Amino acid sequence: MKTRIITALLALLLVAPAAWAQAPLTIPYSGLLIDNGVPVTANATLTFSLYGASTGGTPRWTETVPGVAVVTGRFATDLGGVSPLTVADAADPAWLEVSYGATVLTPRVRLQSVPFAFMSQQAVTAQTAQTASAVALNSVDGASVLNGSITAADVNTATIQARVTGTCAAGQKILPLAADGTVTCGIDADTTYTAGNGLMLTGPQLSVDTTAIQARVTGTCTAGQKVLSIAANGTVTCGIDADTTYAAGNGLVLSGTTFGVLLGANSVSGSNLVTGAASVAGAAFTRDASLPTCVIYGDQTGTLAFTAGTNCRAAAPISLPHGATVNGLTCLASDGAVGTGDITVTLYQKVWSPFILNTVATTGPSLDGVTNPQILTSPPFTTTVDNTIGVYVLRVDFASDASAYTTNLALYGCVVNYN
């Protein structure tokens, strides 16, 4: 079967009225359909497609129009009546391909000038306009204006201020501003100024009022002196600090002019001084009742008092994590007594079966006559904590001699280091 079509594109879109009417986005199309030399008379299904080339490619637009009336081969329809057309669909070059049923008719027909009435000389809305002789008011936005196309000559300076180009010298102000951007200068002789809080006004000059706001402090005092007073201009008067009274708060001890840090109850705990340490305050130690009477005080103000020639002992349990490596024993004590070896602390492991005391570490003895807190440490050692066979205990021994004791013996607490 040989089918061919003789086509004609009608020029209806050229008949746009002079008034600003919306152009229809369709193309009138008519033709003569002949099948094997015989004009077709039937209701035909026609498919129309637009391509960018005469052969091959992918269609930009396509639509299928069923039931097109064909009488003695002649038919007419509107392209875009089923699938809407856009200006981009019909952009040049545009080739029209027609299919009759499943038969593609060749060759494709190129659209000529008539369908390009999409770009009308007069349009209510134009996607792209090369030249416009008239534009409706308020119809052009800023993005549609060509950069640099508006010059100073296009600006109505009666409505919009031209770029200000003039300047005034120091001490002057702009009096009037001309439409073309030039300025007239003059002295500011009629403006009244007042000084607010913290400011002073002397003639035309504002400055900081140092009777209300402190000037930058620039003076310094030598070591052992303190600032007695600060002048308005920032200078200082120095003097010896002879009348200030100091006191030791929680966690500190004051001896003369020296502050120290304490361990134990009501003070900084050992775990805050040594990372990974377990601490026991002095107040946690319990006196060994089997020994002669002695008094144990656990805070930093307490003392130990007992009769010369006797001993005193106290103990406290300490919790250590199973498997940890213990590597240090540190205690804080005061020893104002005479003689030697007054205070020592020992870390034991109390084994349950058989019941024995295994010595882990012992601190060196305290220094006699030192009333300030002193640190007692053990020699270097390491041991692994085993909580499956027993518990760990700290024991403090106050060993006396024939000399008389003062009331300055005290244990503030101990720290066991581990990791």
At residue 412, does pLDDT exceed 80?
no
Of the spans 18-32, 233-247, 332-346, which averages the highest pLDDT? Answer: 233-247
Residue 120 token pair: 């009308």
- Give the model confidence (pLDDT) of 354-366 as tens digits: 889 999 999 988 8
Contact indicator for 400, 339 with CB cutoff of 8 Å: yes
Contacts of 315 (CB under 8 A, 6+ apart): 285, 286, 288, 393, 394, 395, 396
Question: Comparing C-alpha atoms, which of 54, 95, 100, 94 is closest to residue 75?
Answer: 100
Is residue 371 helix, strand or coil? strand
Amino acid 74: pLDDT: 94
At residue 68, does pLDDT exceed 90?
yes
Mean pLDDT, rounded, of the chain = 76
At residue 196, does pLDDT exceed 70?
yes
Amino acid 15: pLDDT: 34
pLDDT category of residue 274 using cuts at 50, 70 and 90: very low
Lowest mean pLDDT among 79-88, 111-120, 186-195, 407-416: 111-120
Residue 314 token pair: 């106290």
Higher-confidence position of 118 and 91: 91
Q: What is the DSSP letter of 164?
A: P
Question: Start-end ranges of CATH 2.60.40 in the chain?
Answer: 3-118
Which CATH entry fits the domain spanning 252-418: 3.40.50.2000, 2.60.120.260, 2.40.50.100, 3.30.1300.10?
2.60.120.260
E strands present in 363-409: 370-377, 383-384, 390-398
Lowest mean pLDDT among 229-238, 272-281, 395-404: 272-281
Average pLDDT in the 304-308 region? 40
Question: Comparing C-alpha atoms, which of 413, 418, 403 is closest to residue 314?
Answer: 413
Q: Does domain 3-118 have CATH number 2.60.40?
A: yes
Lowest mean pLDDT among 33-37, 81-85, 185-189, 231-235: 185-189
At residue 392, does pLDDT exceed 90?
yes
Question: Start-end ranges of CATH 2.60.120.260 in the chain?
Answer: 252-418
Number of neighbouring beta carbons within 10 Å of residue 111: 19
CA 89/CA 52 separation, integer angstroms:
9
Contacts of 41 (CB under 8 A, 6+ apart): 70, 71, 72, 73
At residue 54, does pLDDT exceed 60?
yes
Contacts of 240 (CB under 8 A, 6+ apart): 224, 225, 226
